Structure 1
Amino acid sequence: MQRKVTAELDLELGSSVDLILQIAVARAVPIVHERLSFTQGDQVRTATEILDPAGSRLHRLQGEAGPLHVRYEAVVADAAPTGPASELETIAYLRPSRYCQSDEVFAQARRQFRGLSGRELLAAVDDFVATSTTYTLGLSQGTDSAVTTLNTGQGVCRDYAHLVIALLRAMDVPARYTACYAPGLRPMDFHAVAEAYLDGAWYVVDATRLANRRSLVRIASGRDAADCAFLSFYGGYVGLDRMQVDAWVLSEDPADTAAAAAASDPAVEDPSLLLQLA
């Protein structure tokens, strides 16, 4: 199953700024075609690619004052699921982090999910976050954490992922945050899910129920959103004037558009199944 993903960012730089973007698909994703460009007026800027230990690809460049246009597109194929985590990874993904304060939700998690483990625990946490949280555009702040989401009962995909991760870590399950492209997502945007480490494999947990997990394309993985931001900048002002993200499944048979549509339809996917993301 091939998928096409695109991202367009129009930025306004107030001065010379150090920019770091994470919009390219992860290293492990098989790329059929890819193009990434940065232009300012008639100048083409060159970025340095940096690979982090999780396989995320960061692109860093020094932008000058004025408009900067970022364009990315890729066609990707299926890949084998990610391999077992290292001992260091499992330790890091058990610890509390900035947006996933597993220590602060420890008491509730232990009380609510007492006696559960393995698949039953993943299903219970997924169901709790899905049913107790309302997807609410425009009210979530960049500084909101798992504790904020637990208290308010609302958020967007990153908030759902943070809460799932915090609750799982509180139950001694390594969990990480993953940014991805999500064909069929509505409203379309960069998407975020949680991944839980169980029996030597990473399994996707998406409590929003807004995307078909089988069609997701990994961009970046880390402790929480702080490790996976699509844009970070230092040393000046950056305004985001426009952003457009899209992703869709390509039909192997041009006449069989129904199969491609079904592959990106969250309604045909069973959230109780254990699925892995490449």
Structure 2
Amino acid sequence: MQRILTAELDLELGSSVDLIFQIAAAQPAPIVREQLTFSTGDRVYTPTEIIDQSGSRLHRFFGDAGLLQVRYEAAVEGQVAARATSDLEAISYLRPSRYCQSDEVFAQARRQFGGLQGHDLISAVSEFVTASTTYSPGLSQGTDSAVTTLMTGQGVCRDYAHLVIALLRAMDMPARYAACYAPGLRPMDFHAVAEAYLDGQWYVIDATRLSNRNGLVRIATGRDAADCAFLSYYGGGLSLRRMRVDAVVLPDDAADVEALEQASSASDPAADDPALLVQIG
């Protein structure tokens, strides 16, 4: 099964700006081809690639004033091997963070999920966030946190992920945030999900129910959205003129009925059973 990933961004830079992008598939994804370009007119920038402990790939450079065009395309073949998680890393995902204030939702989490552990806890938290939150594009702010989402009952994928993470951490289960490409996602965009750490493995939770977790391709991993932004910039100003994101699943053999069905299923959110434990592959 091959997944084709595409991202196009057009940015108007008002001056020289320090730019950091996270739009490339994370390591160790089995990438069979990949092209990432940053250009302004005839000038092509060569970024510095920085890879963090989770395999997230950051691309950094200074862009000059003008229209910056960012183009990314990659093909990912097969499934990714899971990265080992150190004890220190797992501990960091137990602590409150900027958008996932597990200490502030502690009392509610303990009342609502007290006595639950393991798979039962993951399922209960996922179901609660799905049922109590309405997907509402345009109504949440970039500064909204898990506490905001819990109070308002609305948000987008990042808000769902933050609330899941905060509740799981409040129940002493390490949880983290992942930015992904999501074949079949509607509306198509960069997608955010949560991951829970159970018995030495990370399992993905998409409380929006808008993606099929079996088709996801990881971009970045962190404590919350602050660690996984597709763009960070410093020392100047810019505006986003255009953005297009796409992800599709291609069958291994277009003439094989079973292969076609597998590819179609991996792009269909309705084909994903939320009760199953699934890893980002």
Range class of TM-score, shorter chain: over 0.9
Q: Which residue of 1 aligns with 2:193?
A: 193
Query: Is the counterpart of residue 231 in structure 1 residue 231 in structure 2?
Result: yes
Q: Which residue of 2 aligns with 1:265?
A: 268
Q: Which residue of 2 aligns with 1:134?
A: 134
Deviates more, 1:47-56 or 1:121-130: 47-56
Unaligned runs of 5+ in 1: none
Query: Structure 1 counterpart of 2:18, which letter?
Result: D
Taking structure 1 as the reference length, what is the TM-score of the superposition?
0.98
Q: Which residue of 2 aligns with 1:16?
A: 16
Q: Which residue of 2 aligns with 1:65?
A: 65
What secondary structure sits across from 2:184 in the alignment?
Answer: coil
Q: Which residue of 2 aligns with 1:203?
A: 203
Query: Structure 1 counterpart of 2:183, which letter?
Result: P
Q: Aligned partners of 2:17, 2:133: CA distance in 1, in Å?
A: 37
Q: Which residue of 2 aligns with 1:114?
A: 114
Contact 1:83 1:201 in 2 (8 A): no
Contact 1:81 1:276 in 2 (8 A): no
1:250-273 deviations in whole A, cap 9, x for unaligned?
111223444422221010110000
Q: Which residue of 1 aligns with 2:7?
A: 7
**1:81 Cα deviation from its structure 2 partner:** 4.2
Q: CA RMSD of the aligned region, Å?
A: 0.9
Q: Which residue of 2 aligns with 1:167?
A: 167
Contact 1:28 1:79 in 2 (8 A): no
Q: Aligned partners of 1:110, 1:56: CA distance in 2, in Å?
A: 33
Q: Percent same amino acid among aligned pairs?
A: 72
Contact 1:222 1:228 in 2 (8 A): yes
What secondary structure sits across from 2:221 in the alignment?
Answer: strand
What secondary structure sits across from 2:88 in the alignment?
Answer: helix
Q: Which residue of 1 aligns with 2:45?
A: 45
Taking structure 2 as the reference length, what is the TM-score of the superposition?
0.97
Contact 1:17 1:63 in 2 (8 A): yes
**1:60 Cα deviation from its structure 2 partner:** 0.2
Query: Structure 2 counterpart of 1:220, which letter?
Result: A
Query: Structure 2 counterpart of 1:157, which letter?
Result: C
**1:79 Cα deviation from its structure 2 partner:** 2.8
Q: Aligned partners of 1:80, 1:258: CA distance in 2, in Å?
A: 21
The total of aligned residue pairs comes to 278
